Amino acid sequence: MADVDLLVAGAGGGLAGALRAAGAGLDVVVAEANPHFRRGNNTAMSTAMVPGPGSRWQRAAGIEDSPERFLADVAAKTHGEADPAVAGTLARVGAPLVEWLADHVGLPLELADVDYPGHSVRRVHTVPGRHGSALLRGLLDAVEAEPRIDLLVPARLVEILPDDGAWRARLRRPDGGVEELTARAVLLATSGYGTDPDLVATHLPEIADAAYHGSEYATGDALSLAGAHGAAVRALDAYQGHAGLSAAARTLVTWTTVMAGAVVVDAEGRRFGDETVGYSEYAAMLAARPGARGWVVLDARIDADTQGFQDYRDVVEAGALRWADTVPELAARIGVDASVLAAELDDAAAVARGDSPVDRVGRRRVAAPLEPPYAAVEIVPALFHTQGGLAVDADARVLAASGEPLGGLYASGGAAVGMSGHGAAGYLAGNGLLPALGLAYRAADHLVAVSAEKEIPA
């Protein structure tokens, strides 16, 4: 007989699976390798954005949305390359997930009042402060109040072996000590492979030299753990990048600034693309510019409107904004040619005023012309997390190369293939956290359903 019903490896989005399973009466152990995970895992470092198409918050706001509309947006952004099983199940689970997080976990969710690139309506739900640390704290509070969940920290899952209809798991402590337990099912929620330089160089060469801004424990453990049992992998070239990492503060200059009318210039003061296509693909574009760095140029209106984001407040408090009363003064402060910068701002302003339908770089929407005083924040490109991983089905079951599920083995978040297709351009805001929470949620529901019928063969 197994020691527990479910072992969750990773205390990020996988906590949703632990809570969902425990709420249905199953006994759960969560093992987390990172002793500082409360502030240093990818969930904690996120902007806490979760798409929930068709949620009650959208209905209250008069927003018409549906899983089908969300899937159409995903298909458009990924050029039809998103994993259909994963995208389909997450589009359907998004609204129930965010409502469950509010009603049963107790998270103070709200609909973000921001238009994000690629989303045809406002469907991203978040917490006050728009920071993942608050979301993770809420999940942990619920876990610690749940008697059916035991949290082992730090303990790294290093091996899983089939054992008479269950999985025998070996967990290693930092002092070298090893513990073993058996679980009827295992959920791999160990994140992706962003800290493995060889894997990044192999699969993500365009961003391999950029800063990494994710968990140091994203070492690709799930790939090796499940790979030992013949698991298939998909879309290992997919990732979320971000072009807006403050060079000084090493935290995000949220892309909300861009959607509010800011522009991005390179180290020579030149714009190099339509910023509204998305911050993920913009990371590789910035990485290819002179010096692999640039500037977000904004004004006092945008600064005031973005203060609700903790990441942005951190940038401000770090003194990373350079203010100026005129464009020539700003150009001098950031070391670019004043005529070049002025021409770029004038070009964007023409679209904002309606004088031109599109600017030189193809941008068609600029909320308002920038007005003095101006500010600029130096930015560098970053790799946030990988979006490809183990092949899974609609129930988050890990699939073998044959396409058959490996009994009792699930994966979520960066451990599993996501819904972003290939490369960086398919990423939509929230489509990292949705697979982290949503696939864990689906895995727990499947395990509960199977548990009501029979034991799971390993």
- What domains lie within the chain, and their CATH numbers? 4-238+387-451 (3.50.50.60), 240-383 (3.90.700.10)
Task: Write out the two tokens for 306.
Answer: 């973005």
Distance (Å, whole) CA 404 – CA 397: 9
Digitized pLDDT (tens) for each residue of the chain, 458 residues in all: 899 999 999 999 999 999 999 999 999 999 999 999 998 899 999 999 999 999 999 999 999 999 999 999 999 999 999 999 999 999 999 999 999 999 999 999 999 998 999 999 999 999 999 999 999 999 999 999 999 999 999 999 999 999 999 999 999 999 999 999 999 999 999 999 999 999 999 999 999 999 999 999 999 999 999 999 999 999 999 999 999 999 999 999 999 999 999 999 999 999 999 999 999 999 999 999 999 999 999 999 999 999 999 999 999 999 999 999 999 999 999 999 999 999 999 999 999 999 999 999 999 999 999 999 999 999 999 999 999 999 999 999 999 999 999 999 999 999 999 999 999 999 999 999 999 999 999 999 999 999 887 655 44
The pLDDT score that the predictor gives to residue 39 is: 87
- Half-sphere exposure for 13 (CA within 13 Å, toward CB): 34
- Who contacts 231 (Cβ-Cβ below 8 Å, separation ≥6)? 390, 391, 398, 399, 400, 401, 406, 409
Whole-angstrom Cα distance, residue 76 to residue 419? 12
Residue 448 phi/psi, 5° resolution?
A: -65, -45
Global pTM reads 0.93
- Please, are residues 31 and 157 in contact by the beta-carbon 8 Å criterion? yes
Query: Tokens 């002793």 belong to which residue?
Result: 35
**Phi, psi angle pair for 170, to nearest 5°:** -110, 125
What backbone torsions phi and psi does residue 453 show, to the nearest 5 degrees? -110, -50
What's the token pair of residue 159? Answer: 């091996």
Residue in 412, 367, 403, 407 with CA at minimum distance from that of residue 385: 412
Q: What is the rounded distance in angstroms from the CA atom of residue 424 to the CA atom of residue 305?
A: 27
The pLDDT of residue 457 is: 47
| Cα–Cα distance measured from residue 375 to residue 371, given in angstroms and rounded to the nearest whole number | 10
Q: What's residue 458's pLDDT?
A: 46
What is the SS3 assignment for the chain?
A: CCCEEEEEECCCCHHHHHHHHHHCCCCEEEECCCCCHHHHCCCCCCCCCEECCCCHHHHHCCCCCCHHHHHHHHHHHHCCCCCHHHHHHHHHHHHHHHHHHHHHHCCCCEECCCCCCCCCCCCEEECCCCCHHHHHHHHHHHHHCCCCEEEECCCEEEEEEEECCEEEEEEECCCCCEEEEEEEEEEECCCCCCCCHHHHHHHCHHHCCCEECCCCCCCCHHHHHHHCCCECEECCCCEEEEEEEECCCCCECCCHHHHCCCEEEECCCCCCCCHHHCHHHHHHHHHCCHHHCEEEEEEHHHHHHCCCCHHHHHHHHCCCEEEECCHHHHHHHHCCCHHHHHHHHHHHHHHHHCCCCCCCCCCCCCCCCCCCCEEEEEEEEEEEEECCEECECCCCEEEECCCCEEEEEEECHHHECCCCCCCCCCCCCCCCHHHHHHHHHHHHHHHHHHHCCCCCCC
CA distance 242 to 323: 23
Amino acid at 196: D
